[in-house]
Amino acid sequence: MQKHYETVFIMTPVLSEEQAKETVSKYKKMLTDNGCKIVTEKAWGLRKLQYPIQKKTTGFYHLFEFKAPPTFVAELEVTYKRDERLLRFLTVALDKHAIAYSEKSRNKAKAVATA
């Protein structure tokens, strides 16, 4: 049985745009290769951090919402920890209310984009 998850990671701001895209594609490939279904993906871009992390005040944010087996999340987070390009990450399991909210916001964004 697959559960619904959301993961956000912050990449170091010293990466070039190409390196940031390469990092994102690495994790996207890892998700798809392990039988996960990517529901949505958002690049939030370069944002200011609330507090410095490793003496950095900004970072590239990226979000994946996906369905995966519960055992996969541990493997994903070990890979995150080993990647020196990532400053921070957070993976959470979504409950039915969070899933409904996410779907509602995606539908609202699609409606605005088509209008």
CATH number at residue 51: 3.30.70.60
Domain around 104: 3-114
Q: List pLDDT tens digits, range 51-86.
A: 999 999 999 999 999 999 989 999 999 999 999 999
**Taking CA 86 as the corner, what is the angle to CA 85 and CA 90, rounded to the nearest 5 degrees?**
165
Which of these, 4, 1, 2, lies nearest to 94 by C-alpha position?
4
Helix axes 72-82, 17-33, angle to 10 degrees: 160
Counting the structural domains of the chain, the total is: 1
Give me the chain's average pLDDT, please: 91
Instruction: Give the predicted TM-score (pTM) of the model.
Output: 0.87
